[in-house]
Amino acid sequence: MKANAKNKKQSYWRLLGRQFLRNRLAVAASAILLLLLLTALSAPFLASGQPIYLIKDGKTYWFSNVVTQRDLANFDFRTWERKPGDYGIWPVVHYSPEESSLRNRLEPPSRSHFLGTDDRGRDVLSRMIWGTRISISVGFVAVGISVFIGIIIGALAGFYGGKVDMIAQRVIEIMMCIPVFFLIISLIAFLPPSIYNIMGVIGITGWTGVARLVRGEFFKLRASDFATAARATGLSDRRIMFRHLLPNALGPVLVSATFGVAGAILTESALSFLGFGVPPPTASWGEILSQSKRYIDFAWWLVTFPGAAIFITVTAFNLVGEGLRDAMDPRLRQ
Amino acid sequence: MTPDLLVVQDLVKHFPVRKGIFSRVAGHVRAVDGLSFRIPRGKTLSLVGESGSGKTTTGRAILRLIEPTSGSVRFDGIEVTSMNRQDLRALRKRMQIIFQDPYGSLNPRMTVYSVLSEALRTHRLPQATGARDRVYELLSLVGLPPEAADRYPHEFSGGQRQRVGIARALAVEPELIVADEPVSALDVSIQSQILNLLEDLQQQLGLTYLFIGHDLSVVRHISDSVAVMYLGRIVELGPVEAVFEHPVHPYTIALLAAAPVPDPARKRRRILLPGDIPSPINPPTGCHFHPRCPDAQPGCARCETPLIEISPGHWVACPVHAPGAPANA
Amino acid sequence: MNASHEFILRVRNLRTHFHTDQGIARAVDGVSFDIPAGKTLALVGESGCGKSVTALSILGLVPHPPGEVSGEAIEFEGRNLLAFSEAEMRRIRGNEIAMIFQEPMTSMNPVFRIGDQIGAVLRLHRGLSKAAAREEVLALMQRVGIPAAESRLEDYPHQMSGGMLQRVMIAMALSCHPKMLIADEPTTALDVTIQAQILDLLRVLQRETGMSILLITHDLGIVAEIADEVVVMYAGKKVEHAPVAALFAAPKHPYTRGLFASLPAMQQHRQRLYAIRGAVPAPTDFPAGCRFHPRCPYAMDCCRRDEPPLLETGDAHRTACWLHDAGVMAAQGKAPGLPPEAAP
């Protein structure tokens, strides 16, 4: 026991973390993802037409960039004549993503618009920042839904086998025969345009991979001695499935979910590009990209920046997924 | 006379062998083929046999971890095979199992404490406040320090894991423990620690063991009585001294002769059995052992081979060496 | 007398270390032994003692990195294998030194027929034609006692039992008339009656071919049956080395004695077994001094401090234990030797 006392309290996840940290590329990708997550969370502080803090006409306003202040909602700060004692702190980019200005249409990047403007004179950087929110949340929520469905169906099929498994397998096969993207487009066509519908549709069409993965793991695990021991202890099926088997099957699911987020972000961008995405005027990377179709001959900034954002995000998620997968592979462990 | 805690009668377990795309049943693996034995309370009966003899299946069928095909298992007078799920879960408090592989039998994602306390909670054993104390008590019972409670299985050596497995079985205060090759995967020096522990626990807690093993010296050491199995059937059953000192069935004799003995000077009668153990899908007719038996007679392929009591408590299923019953027992 | 021809293999101060996260694992740490031609030497020990790594080191099969094999020499018929290139080793492996493993199933390729797998070895190493190889395979299979060998040539590995596969492995090992066979737990995965068959086969083949066998096992029963000489290993060190009869008659090292005492003997029933306390230390964390001292009932101060040298304690009987050092024991006013059998 003395020998083991050194590496005391090493749960599986801790070991996994240590292994993951050795993969420099995956760690760099995680840093990028963290940055994106922070961008998404702090979007109102990074890009908004409203000030964070303002003293105007002797009145003090806090966080009008987050909470709508009635006095300021329709106030045009561009034509604002400062009186003495007036003071304001603005976000880094002081344009709201939906604020259009027809005089400034399709302006190339400049000091006032770092990444230029689109065909309605909206600031591209501001739209990119807010688009991060859409991409990240669509990615996570959609994958959350598909992982949830996948785990339930896969767990039932793998644990009970027999008829339950037969039915689940056939359903999965049918789902896999349908080209998912066209299914999504057809479903979206019937639904009112909303970001929640997009999340839901991507979620309920994407669970088959996770279900097969969980089913396979459960098939293997349910025959293990510790599962038999749990049954011999008299535990309920539900407890054996979710307390004993699931934690052991979670690793591969996590890997698959990470790749899934990348896929979902790509799908959302594609939908927005085709005009089936988030309803206007909401900003999304795919939507900015779709504008570029018409102006591609000169408005390079409309292609480059959202394209790069999608590419970097998807690549980062894939790299993290690969890092996790390698960290879990016992063959690569020394 | 001690009442029998476990009485097994004509236990049968056949696994269907499925073939083809329509999962047609193409045959049966006759893993356990009509087994009868009884274990008195506080005693140890061992099932010995080679691979394919059905000893592990027997252990699991008794606990209904595998559903038996037919036959009867009576635990303390209660029929186990016809029990509903609710009663079965309650009964599992009284019958437990220890596994062979100390690596596969513990959930790698649960600490020792959560494994043990879960068993306690399931059967609402101690009051909520006493769970931690009871876990420490269990650990000290199996010779582990209290710090072991907060560790994960991979932090232990094989022998220590086996102790955790035993503690888990003991958590629910069972009366019968099925020990499925509990020391086969352990090193010799650790094996004796675990065997001593099992014996101490039997004495302290009055446990009854169904011990499943293939190492004859271990079986000899720990059992009160022995059942030698071959292809799903018992070929010889009796008190440990009788079976080891005066084996009657040719298979038992060959098995004892084949076991390597750590004594280079000992020249013993070597009986090399020809051939392999046949597949339990298509076992030989009559006495399953006849194709490999040195004493086989032409009749062995045809006749039924019931267990005959040749001396009190010593039963043999061999038409050559135990022909007919002296008195129909 | 030419020493290099009396012994087929001489292992001198072999060290095999592995570089791991937890530090350097000294799996084999200065082990020496000689195998006389035509004899069987058994390496005995519990899991983690380094016996299998020793075998892999001899054949140059230790993965590098993380493994690193060093030492004075591994002399096979006077040639130092440690100095051999990978290409030269390939010519030795399977050809002059053959090896069989514990799990015959995992050592066979599941998609090739048995006959083709043995035939491939023959054609590679002996350059036989396809037809000649088939003839030879058939002869080999008959020689290792595979019944109906002709029909079994066409079998795939999964169609054979463990015992039959081990025979196939042995046939494959014999195909190039090796001078030495390394058998790593050859019967551990087999049933008792089958194990007896395989041991018998090895004995007969050794008598017929005169090959030397390096047997690796944890089972003292098997050692008693087949070995001429025994090396007992503990935690990467050789702790005792003796002819089989001498070792079994009077083990000199406390560890060896503990191993014998913890065997449940066939004769006794229901006696409390002797148990060596504690567990084998991790190879990255071997204790200083004698590596067995934390588990040894006779440990003295010098055992905790200094590593015991290999001491001659009788006719060809050597053991690494301070109890047998006259100087150390005299300082304590005791006679050298293992204390008489005391109930620990």
- pLDDT tens string A19-74: 888 889 999 999 999 999 999 998 888 888 788 888 887 788 888 888 877 777 77
Average pLDDT over residues A245-256: 90
Domain assignment of residue B118, yes or no: no
In the chain, the amino acid numbered A130 is W
pLDDT above 60 for A2: no
Token pair, residue C124, equals 């590679």
Is B122 close to A233, i.e. CB distance below 8 A? yes
Dist CA B126 CA B136 (whole Å): 13
Domain assignment of residue B263, yes or no: yes
Task: List the one residue out of C228, C225, C159 whose CA is nearest residue C195.
Answer: C225
Q: How far is C55 from chain A (nearest CA, A)?
A: 21
DSSP state of C307: P
Q: How far is B268 from chain A (nearest CA, A)?
A: 39
A8 touches chain C (CB under 8 A): no
The answer to whether the beta carbons of residues A157 and A168 sit under 8 Å apart is yes
**Domain span(s) for CATH 1.10.3720.10 in chain A:** 18-44+125-332
pLDDT above 90 for C228: yes
Q: pLDDT digits over A199-238, tens only? A: 999 999 889 999 999 999 999 999 899 999 999 988 889 9
Given pLDDT bands bounded at 50, 70 and 90, which one contains residue B32? Answer: very high
Token pair, residue B117, equals 């306390």
Q: How far is C281 from chain A (nearest CA, A)?
A: 6
Token pair, residue B264, equals 């280079």
Radius of gyration of chain C (CA): 21
Which segment, A243-247, B24-28, C264-268, is predicted with the most confidence on average?
A243-247
**Residue with the larger pLDDT of the pair B130 and B82:** B82
Mean pLDDT, all residues of chain A: 85
Global pTM reads 0.83
Given pLDDT bands bounded at 50, 70 and 90, which one contains residue B112? Answer: very high
In the chain, the amino acid numbered A316 is A
DSSP state of B297: -
Dist CA A284 CA A132 (whole Å): 7
Is A6 close to C279, i.e. CB distance below 8 A? no
Dist CA C62 CA C56 (whole Å): 6
Q: Cβ neighbours of residue B328 under 8 Å, at least 6 residues apart?
A: none
Domain assignment of residue B117, yes or no: no
Contacts of A16 in chain C (CB under 8 A): none
Q: How many domains does chain B have?
A: 1
pLDDT above 60 for B117: yes
Is C195 close to B196, i.e. CB distance below 8 A? no
Beta bridge partners, B44, equal: B209
DSSP state of B314: E
Residues of B with CB under 8 A from a CB of C: 50-51, 157-160, 187-193, 195-196, 199, 214, 216-218, 220-222, 240-241, 244, 254-255, 257-266, 270, 272-273, 275-277
Contacts of C159 in chain B (CB under 8 A): none
Q: pLDDT digits over A172-191, tens only? A: 999 888 888 888 888 888 88
Given pLDDT bands bounded at 50, 70 and 90, which one contains residue C344? Answer: very low
Q: Where are the alpha helices (DSSP H) in chain C?
A: 3-6, 51-58, 86-92, 114-126, 130-143, 149-152, 162-174, 192-209, 220-226, 244-249, 254-261, 301-305, 326-331
Token pair, residue A279, equals 């309803």
- pLDDT of C110 reads 83
- pLDDT of C44 reads 94
Give residue B12's domain range: 4-94+174-316
Domain assignment of residue B145, yes or no: no
Domain assignment of residue B192, yes or no: yes
Domain assignment of residue B155, yes or no: no
A102 touches chain C (CB under 8 A): no
Q: Where are the alpha helices (DSSP H) in chain B?
A: 55-62, 85-91, 112-122, 131-141, 158-171, 188-205, 216-222, 240-245, 250-258
- pLDDT of C5 reads 57
**Residue with the larger pLDDT of the pair A98 and B255:** B255
Dist CA A118 CA A291 (whole Å): 8
Is C192 close to B258, i.e. CB distance below 8 A? yes
**Sheet (strand B314-316) strand order:** B95-98, B176-180, B208-213, B44-48, B225-230, B233-239, B314-316, B308-311
pLDDT above 90 for B37: yes
Task: List the one residue out of B266, B275, B57 whose CA is nearest residue C193.
Answer: B275
Average pLDDT over residues B119-129: 71
Residues of B with CB under 8 A from a CB of A: 60, 63, 65, 88-90, 92-93, 95-97, 99-101, 104-110, 118-119, 122-123, 145, 148, 150-152, 154-157, 160, 165, 168, 171-172
Q: pLDDT digits over A281-303, tens only? A: 788 888 888 877 888 788 888 88
In the chain, the amino acid numbered B9 is Q
DSSP state of B130: G
Q: Indicate the CATH number for domain A18-44+125-332.
A: 1.10.3720.10
Q: pLDDT digits over B248-297, tens only? A: 999 999 998 888 888 877 655 567 788 778 888 888 888 899 988 888 88
Q: Where are the alpha helices (DSSP H) in B63-111?
A: 85-91
Task: Kindly write down the DSSP assignment for every residue of B210-253, as one continuous string.
Answer: EEEES-HHHHHHH-SEEEEEETTEEEEEEEHHHHHHS--SHHHH
Q: Rounded to the nearest 10 degrees, what angle do helices C130-143 and C114-126 cross at?
A: 120
- pLDDT of B269 reads 56
- pLDDT of B59 reads 94
Is A229 close to B168, i.e. CB distance below 8 A? yes
- pLDDT of A281 reads 79
CATH code at position B254: 3.40.50.300
Nearest to C220 among B160, B241, B262 (CB): B262
pLDDT above 80 for C265: no
- pLDDT of A102 reads 78
Percent of chain B with pLDDT over 90: 50
CA-to-CA dists, residue C291 to B262, C280, C336, angstroms: 25, 9, 20
Is A334 close to C66, i.e. CB distance below 8 A? yes
The answer to whether the beta carbons of residues B193 and B159 sit under 8 Å apart is yes
Task: Kindly write down the DSSP assignment for every residue of A67-117, as one continuous string.
Answer: SPPHHHHT--GGG--PPTT-EEE--SB-S-TT---GGGTTPPS-SSSTT-B
Token pair, residue C56, equals 């892999």
Average pLDDT over residues C103-131: 84
- pLDDT of A33 reads 94
Token pair, residue B105, equals 């039998």
The answer to whether the beta carbons of residues B135 and B172 sit under 8 Å apart is no
Residue C336 exposed, middle or buried by CB count within 10 Å (0-12, 13-18, 19+): middle
Nearest to B108 among A229, A235, A248 (CB): A248
CA-to-CA dists, residue B97 to A238, B71, B92, B300, angstroms: 21, 21, 10, 37
Contacts of A226 in chain B (CB under 8 A): 104-107
Mean pLDDT, all residues of chain C: 87
Q: pLDDT digits over C161-195, tens only? A: 888 888 888 888 888 889 999 999 988 888 888 88
Contacts of B96 in chain A (CB under 8 A): 232-233
Task: List the one residue out of B205, B207, B200, B204 whose CA is nearest residue B177.
Answer: B207
Task: List the one residue out of B173, B268, B131, A185 whose CA is nearest residue C196.
Answer: B268
Phi, psi of B109, deg, nearest 5? -100, 10
Dist CA C26 CA C235 (whole Å): 8
Average pLDDT over residues B17-24: 71
Token pair, residue A171, equals 């359903």
Task: Kindly write down the DSSP assignment for every residue of A9-26, as one continuous string.
Answer: T--HHHHHHHHHHT-HHH
- H-helix or E-strand spanning residue B29: strand B24-40
- pLDDT of C270 reads 62
Percent of chain A with pLDDT over 90: 35
The answer to whether the beta carbons of residues B317 and B287 sit under 8 Å apart is yes
Radius of gyration of chain B (CA): 21
pLDDT above 50 for B213: yes
Q: pLDDT digits over B217-255, tens only? A: 899 999 999 999 999 999 999 999 999 999 999 999 999
Dist CA C130 CA C245 (whole Å): 47
Token pair, residue C308, equals 């015991």
Task: Kindly write down the DSSP assignment for every residue of A183-229, as one continuous string.
Answer: HHHHHHHHSPS-HHHHHHHHHHHS-HHHHHHHHHHHHHHHTSHHHHH
DSSP state of B279: P
- H-helix or E-strand spanning residue B13: strand B4-19
- Cα-based torsion angle of the residue sequence A30, A31, A36, A39 in order, rounded to the nearest 10 degrees: 150
Is B97 close to A228, i.e. CB distance below 8 A? yes
Is A234 close to B90, i.e. CB distance below 8 A? yes
The answer to whether the beta carbons of residues C344 and C297 sit under 8 Å apart is yes
Dist CA B304 CA B149 (whole Å): 53
* Mutation to test the C interface, candidates A6, A16, A22, most C Cβ within 10 Å: A6
A-C C-beta contacts closer than 8 Å: 15
Domain assignment of residue B326, yes or no: no
Token pair, residue A155, equals 């767990």
- pLDDT of B129 reads 61
Place of tokens 């049933």: C191
Classify C2 in phi/psi space as left (phi over 0), alpha (psi -120 to 50) or beta.
beta
Token pair, residue C177, equals 């008339």
Domain assignment of residue B144, yes or no: no
Token pair, residue C105, equals 């199933």
Is A7 close to B155, i.e. CB distance below 8 A? yes
Nearest to A334 among C20, C279, C285 (CB): C20
Query: What is the ipTM, given to two decimal places?
Result: 0.84
